[in-house]
Amino acid sequence: MTPAFWRGVWWLPSTPETQSPGQLRVDADGTCRLEIVGSLNLGAVGQAADDATRPRGDRVPEIHGMSKGKPITLLDCFTTASDGFSASTRSYQDIHVQEALIGAHVARDEPAFAAAIVEIENLTSWLAHPNIIERSDDGEGQHATTSRPPDLSCVIDGWTITARGLAQPFRANHKHSRLVVEGEVSTYLVLAPPEPVAAREFHGLVHEISDLITLAAGEASDQISLTLIHREPTIMPERDGSTFEMDTQVESFGARIHTAMPEEASPMDWRLLFSCRDHTFQDLVVDWLRVRRRAPDACNVYFGLRYARPRYTETRLLLTAITAEALHKGLVDATALSDADIEQTRLARLRDEQREVAKKLGKTPTFRERAIGLAAKPDADAVRELIPDIEAWADRLKDARNNLAHTGNETTDDDIFYLEWVTSSLLALVLMAELGLSPETQRRAVRDILSPPR
């Protein structure tokens, strides 16, 4: 998006009678900044909201505003620049805004939103809707039709997640040299909690689903837009004097690590590791959310490497090794006792039985054992094609990780670019296996996409 501006008046919810002019600026990466002419006394509100012995400084949970008749709420705000030490002496004040909600006045923790509509990069390709575009040629000319894709839906933890499509009418663009006829099919997700929630409750789920599509696409796939649906509809007048209800839509803006590029070309279907053609939408989304929530730390590091990829191979290799260890802890948890172990502990009477249980309690896998354990999770043929010698790979990864972690240098003669590539590819295979994707899908992914470049 291009930078956007909302000029108007702004005030603190606790003192609506004290208003200051200014403008809200939203940059292309979603960063929000409120530029006030004069000052808002954020410090006084922050102090009043907390114990007097622990001042919070110029920070408030929300600021309200009005621009062109539209209500605006700014969440988690703090001063970044000003030209004075008190509100009465300042001529300007720049305020950082974590999230801007255009279209409603709400409190930070107010459960005001009944649903959200989100667009995510590469979502349309990943959904793999069949027969949404059909072409034919009757000899006289070519014909094309676009169809609205069917809704796909699933439920997890009371939240309903629905993928919906929209087929736009064909349009003709007249050029100096030719006539271009274009059609368009787009998709979006509707996230509906079991009951209204605060705006911030949607961000975690959007982030988790973005990670799923990023895994499938092999490239950063992040939020393009987020529109929240207020729990109270807007009453609109009809010409005959009657009224009707419309959803109250509230646009949400906020800074993100990756800036979405919706007009860029999406990967071709054969470049996706998997799609809804390989597994159902419901199974992929539900299973992914469960897997992601079992290993949040590992996934945060792994996908951080996708959204903000470091330039140095050493950094990528160290972070990939960290991901492998954390992923094994989250998914395998080899040190946990089974129900049978617990029962054995309770009923143990012999010294030998107690000794065996104590060994299980005290055993913590080494990094090398964790790496080998991860390699055992995906399809064996897919892993073998990617990493022919698992034992040697685990040794090299362990040595490289220890060297980088303890000395900051990688002193071996191994190709660490290759080592980082195959390790990262193995992690993708592990996540695919956890999603229940077939061995054939995993082997195709290795053969066509994940194998290191020659």
Q: How high is the pLDDT of residue 45?
A: 54
Is 374 inside a domain boundary? yes
Is 92 inside a domain boundary? yes
Q: Are residues 131 and 178 in the same domain?
A: yes
Q: Are residues 335 and 443 in the same domain?
A: yes
Q: Are residues 313 and 281 in the same domain?
A: no
- Top-ranked range on mean pLDDT: pick from 37-51, 81-95, 326-340: 81-95
Q: Are residues 145 and 236 in the same domain?
A: yes
| Number of domains making up the chain | 3
Q: Are residues 146 and 279 in the same domain?
A: yes
Q: Are residues 220 and 340 in the same domain?
A: no
Q: How high is the pLDDT of residue 353?
A: 61
Domain containing residue 207: 113-288
Average pLDDT over residues 181-210: 96
Is 302 inside a domain boundary? no
Q: Are residues 44 and 177 in the same domain?
A: no
Is 196 inside a domain boundary? yes
Q: Are residues 255 and 320 in the same domain?
A: no
**The model scores a pTM over 0.75:** yes
Q: How high is the pLDDT of residue 72?
A: 98
Q: Are residues 170 and 258 in the same domain?
A: yes
Average pLDDT over residues 449-453: 89
pLDDT exceeds cutoff 60 at 338: no
Q: Are residues 68 and 197 in the same domain?
A: no
Q: Which residues, 6+ apart, have CB-to-CB distance to 251 below 8 Å?
A: 101, 102, 103, 225, 226, 227, 228
Domain ends where: 102, 135, 170?
A: 102
Q: How high is the pLDDT of residue 363?
A: 66
88: CATH: 2.40.10
Question: For the segment 258-292, what is each residue's pLDDT rounded down to a tens digit?
Answer: 999 999 998 998 999 999 999 999 999 999 999 99
Mean pLDDT of the chain: 88
Is 171 inside a domain boundary? yes
Q: Are residues 44 and 146 in the same domain?
A: no
Q: How high is the pLDDT of residue 169?
A: 87
Is 107 inside a domain boundary? no
Q: Are residues 410 and 318 in the same domain?
A: yes
pLDDT exceeds cutoff 70 at 47: no
CB 382 within 8 A of CB 439: yes
pLDDT exceeds cutoff 90 at 337: no
